[in-house]
Structure 1
């Protein structure tokens, strides 16, 4: 059975996007960008909800061709383009860049993917990850907390039906004050 990992940058007050889907607060250092690239390299499949897909696909297909792209951004763009991805949405009808679209039951498809004998997969997007959380499908949480308070927006965590007990497995600080906390779900 493959592992499902939910990880994103979030504000100190728990949001992955400020009101209006503003993520301008999240500009990572080169070291943090490299860390995210390493995480992508360590997994085999990325799962996206529609909103995160639209954000990622609006920039990363050509992110390595931007005039001020850093070496870390160039590497991430190339990894992102080549990586197998699944987008879950009932409102879009086309995806590109090594991506498959699923319009049906996300929890059923994620459960099917988890049952495969394959490497880890990562999930992103609050709504999609929230559904996976409520279904008990997430094995690991990677929170990169950025020292900013935005006061509202899209929360990293969703309301749950029951407690989820976790074990802290790693902490790390990055330039600029971002802090990684990584937890595994106790089963």
Structure 2
């Protein structure tokens, strides 16, 4: 069964506003190599509209740093799904699914392939509540934002999600990458 993974940049106080993070070459390399094990990216509409056309434009123009350009190329090469009831059309290797989030994700997990990466805040909340995220990658930035959207402020869970820390990476910038696996209880 394929794993569903979720990654997010956050501040020390849990802010997940993408404008608060300032990725450097090392962070872009980290996220690019994370995509080695991914062959499908799933977004909600808002995150999709942030990522596309931004990353395709960077890849086409080679307008970022070397590491940002490599991330853009990797991102663009991976097939995507957008869960949206309102998005009219999607670009390139992206298809739109309108409903049945849980059933569709379960079906995707059963298909052969690499990991499925999800992006966004609303989609993440729904999949966490359904227990469908298997791995979490958090990069904690050495910033106290003081305001903005918090990573887990919109989640209501019926029970705890227990995680096992499997890897820690400390970056030269002071960021810390944390990789967790969801622990299956009762095994």
Q: Distance in 1 between matches of 2:104 and 2:148?
A: 28
**Partner Cα distance (1:153, 1:109) in 2:** 31
Matched, 1:95 2:126: no
Regions of 4+ moved over 4 Å: 65-68
Unaligned runs of 5+ in 2: none
The equivalent residue for 1:108 is: 103
Q: Distance in 1 between matches of 2:159 and 2:130?
A: 10
- How many residues were matched structurally? 182
In terms of fraction of residues, the more helix-rich structure is 1
User: 1:11-22 counterparts in 2 under 5 A?
Assistant: 11-17=11-17
The residue aligned with 1:143 is 138
CA RMSD of aligned residues (A): 1.5
Q: Which residue of the other structure, out of 98, 116, 127, is the alignment partner of 2:122?
A: 127
**1:93 alignment partner, SS class:** coil
The residue that corresponds to 2:175 in the other structure is 178
How far residue 150 of structure 1 moved from its aligned partner, in angstroms, is 2.0
TM-score (norm 1): 0.91
| SS of residue paired to 2:57 | helix
CA contact (8 A) 2:63 2:69 kept: no
Contact 1:87–1:100 (CA under 8 A) maintained in structure 2:
yes
Question: What does residue 157 of structure 2 align with?
Answer: 160
**Distance across 1 between alignment mates of 2:19 and 2:48:** 17
Question: Which residue pairs with 1:20 in the alignment?
Answer: none
Using the size of structure 2 for normalisation, the TM-score is 0.91
Whether the aligned pair in 2 keeps the contact of 1:10 and 1:26 (CA below 8 Å) is: yes
